[in-house]
Amino acid sequence: MLWIKAFHVIFMVTWFAGLFYLPRVFVYHAMGDQANRDQIETFKVMERKLLVMTHIGGGLTILFGTWLLLAWLPTLLSVPWMHVKLLLVAGLIVYHGFCVKLVTDFRHDANTRSHVWYRWFNEIPVLFLFGIVILVIVRPFN
């Protein structure tokens, strides 16, 4: 089971790396000069490739996390901190899905948000990370 837990953490780090960096590319893309088509196209390629990496990290995090959850049922579902963690993971999945929408908007040159908005949007996964790690390590509400 320790191998499964290790892979869960490894892919969680990969998922978060994508969720941290992808919105940063959105900032630069939103600041980009539409007259410089090469630069804009480079951002589109970066976003597409980062999104693939983020999908892989997220998918494998969820796979190994589900494996751990099923292996330790009903123990894990009986502790309140796990309920909160799963709620935060669900929120992170929604955030990830919104990133997919934003990549699509940029791909079609349909972005309507400023680089300042993306700077704030870029901070959201930090809140999820803090919450999830604190819940798993500290295990409050026991």
Average pLDDT over residues 20-46: 94
pLDDT of residue 35: 78
Q: How far apart are CA 11 and CA 59, in angstroms?
A: 8
Q: Interior CA angle at 69 toward 55 and 137, to 5°?
A: 85
**Tokens at 17, concatenated:** 């790396």
DSSP state of 44: H
Q: How far apart are CA 5 and CA 43, in angstroms?
A: 34
pLDDT of residue 21: 98
Query: What is this structure's pTM?
Result: 0.95
Based on the structure, what is the number of domains in the chain? 1
pLDDT digits (tens, 9 = 90+) for 49-91: 999 999 999 999 999 999 999 999 989 889 999 999 999 999 9
Kindly tell me if the per-residue pLDDT of 112 is higher than 90.
Answer: yes
**By residue range, what is the domain housing residue 59?**
2-138
